[in-house]
Amino acid sequence: MSSERTTRRSLGDRRPKVDWSRVDALTDDDIQAGIDADPDAAPMLDNAWLAHAQLVDPDTKVPVTIRLDRDIVSFFKDHGKGYQTRINQVLRAFVDHERANRRTGS
């Protein structure tokens, strides 16, 4: 069983409860103030931004079967959900590095 499942299962009824009446009482100004105070919040999108937005289809991924050393898979899985994405990111960094070296002749 993964550590995520173990954690989720062990929390049981101790999961934080959402006070929906408090959420429902928030005004638009309260919500905007919260967004403004959050340094990680994305900016609000307005009609001017949307007028210049372009729909970009993401690159599709190709399903593959690959045999990896057990300790490699364990390393990525130990860092939680999304281990396949992290493996892809490592491979992407390697490929980008190699392509840059080819262009510069290094």
How much is the pTM?
A: 0.46
Residue reference for tokens 């490929």 = 95
What gap in Å lies between CA 40 and CA 58, rounded to an integer?
23
Burial class (CB in 10 A: 0-12, 13-18, 19+), 75: middle
Spell out the per-residue pLDDT of the chain, length 106, in tens: 555 555 555 556 677 789 999 999 999 999 999 999 999 998 778 899 899 999 998 888 999 999 999 999 999 999 999 999 999 999 999 999 999 998 887 6
CB 89 within 8 A of CB 99: no
